[in-house]
Amino acid sequence: MSKNTTNYSIKLIAPKDTYSVRHPVLREGRPIEDCIFENDDLETTYHVGLYSQNKLVGVVTYMKNNTPLLETKKQYQLRGMAVLKECQGLKYGNALIHYGENLLKEKGITTIWCNAREIAVPFYEKNGFSIIGKPFNIEKIGLHFTMQKDIQ
């Protein structure tokens, strides 16, 4: 696989297309059904895919969902951020976040939030997110932190 970080394209994709990346990265060793998120099929949910050499290698989902930790009404949740292991470190995750921020800004959204795995906190911090609230554990997945970013 090419290490050329400019040789990629990003576009909106169908919910089921995310599973081929969500599964090995976020739900390895678990049933494929664990890759299906509640509200994946809503009209207000956006699935973004990053393709390198015409292969889907990165995904992220943006869902209309509010956290009680934030007062703003125009917020979206970032979920299912995943880049295949062989493509990590190529700044594809940054590109997916940037694409999603622009998409949501066009729709008048002012805040993005996510529940980040402990290992992903530095990645989100580098992309302008900050921790809010207290850490919590998700069964079978591990310690998480709610993080948010204003995008207006």
Q: Which CATH number fits domain 8-150: 3.40.630.30, 1.10.3720.10, 3.40.50.720, 3.30.70.60?
A: 3.40.630.30
Predicted model pTM: 0.90
β partners of residue 142: 138
Residue 22 neighbours by CB under 8 Å, 6+ apart: 35, 59, 80, 82
pLDDT reading at 5 higher than 60: no
Quick one: which of 143, 151, 99, 148 has its CA closest to 124? 148
CB count in 10 Å sphere of residue 106 = 8
Kindly tell me the sign of the dihedral angle through the C-alpha atoms of 123, 111, 61, 139. Answer: positive
Q: What is the pLDDT of residues 11-68, one digit of tens each?
A: 999 999 999 999 999 888 888 888 888 999 999 999 999 999 999 999 999 999 999 9
Q: Are 61 and 82 in contact (CB under 8 A)?
A: no
